[in-house]
Structure 1
Amino acid sequence: MIRFLMTVLFMAGLAGAASAQSSYSIQPGDVLQIEVLEDPDLGRDVLVLPDGSISFPLAGTVRAGGRTVDGVASTITSRLADDFAVEPTVLVSVASLGEGESDLIDIYIMGEANEPGLREVEPGITLLQFLAASGGLSRFAAEKRIQLRRIDPQTGQERVYRFNYRTMGGDDSIRGTTVLAPGDVIVVPERRLFE
């Protein structure tokens, strides 16, 4: 009786895991395990590339990002159908999840920063925290004319905000506590001769 109950609980756990996988939205960095029952040689683990695609023999490039395992299996099945006498049985499961790189956002800094370039940072970082993470300002920085350039996602237009490092805000300046958004570009211009 105990063995029977353990078997039932184990099967229920497997059914729950299968249900969770069938509704999971595949992300870049995930590894998918793909099996074709009619041809075991085709079975393999494939990495979901940053653009959300995978490559599978005889099926070519398949869009996987944002889709479910059932959707990917259906696409691969239809693409393999011409190579088999009967429609193949394709099983797709998530072998491992990506590293969660999508939690970081890209912010750029250029000009008179001590460490210009691209930084991947946690969401919620403020302008002042980001400047500190970029090694601060060089001695040639125009501290009163720092720019935060941001693209409006709805209009696609760029807005330029001015930041005065010396006063940490004030008239015609955003504050150092301004939260940065993905894709923001911070421009630190060079100081003028008598500035």
Structure 2
Amino acid sequence: MRWLLARTIFHVRLTTVIYVAVILGAGSVAAQSYHIRPGDILRIEVLEDPELNRSVLVTPDGRISVPMAGTMRISGQPVEAVQRGLAARLSASFANPPNVFVSVERLAERRPDMRQPTEPKLISVFVMGEANKPGHFEIPENTNVLQAFAAMGGFTKFAAIKRVQLRRAAKIVPLNYQQIEAGSAAAQMTLQDGDVIVVPQRRLFE
């Protein structure tokens, strides 16, 4: 009788272990099946250097830019591959390979094909680099540069605020935030659909 009870308990425990393994395995497969797309927001955390922790935008051409790692093309890659690539690039700056964690903070938004006539017209603007809230924004048309800076939450301490760029197709418009804040005409420049605001990283003695 005791032997039969022990055998029953063993089978119950074994079934439970197998069930948990299947559930965890399914979750892992689901995570690996997602591939990064332009417009996604990734959360990057480096255990050895919290100052590198940030949210980054995957630009329309499928790239991200991270201090000490440079620019990487990651569109179409699974999150795990991006994580390994970042760790490899950052290794040169650490005594031991750093622990890098990458997750998808926000998926790229899809705009509806049709809008109600009463809704205000929106345009898509991308913000990348050293902004406090980089990402893809849907903002009303006629939004100016200064309003866009407010929407992205200002700049990080790494930002080169005198060398901000507005990229429109093949054209690059330099934006000096200090001059804009002082009232230069550039503050009233209106944004257009597809504009990209790039906030570069500050140089060592800048």
TM range (shorter): 0.3 to 0.5
Write 1 or 2 for the structure with the bigger share of helix.
Answer: 2
Structure whose CA Rg is larger: 1
Taking structure 2 as the reference length, the TM-score comes to 0.41
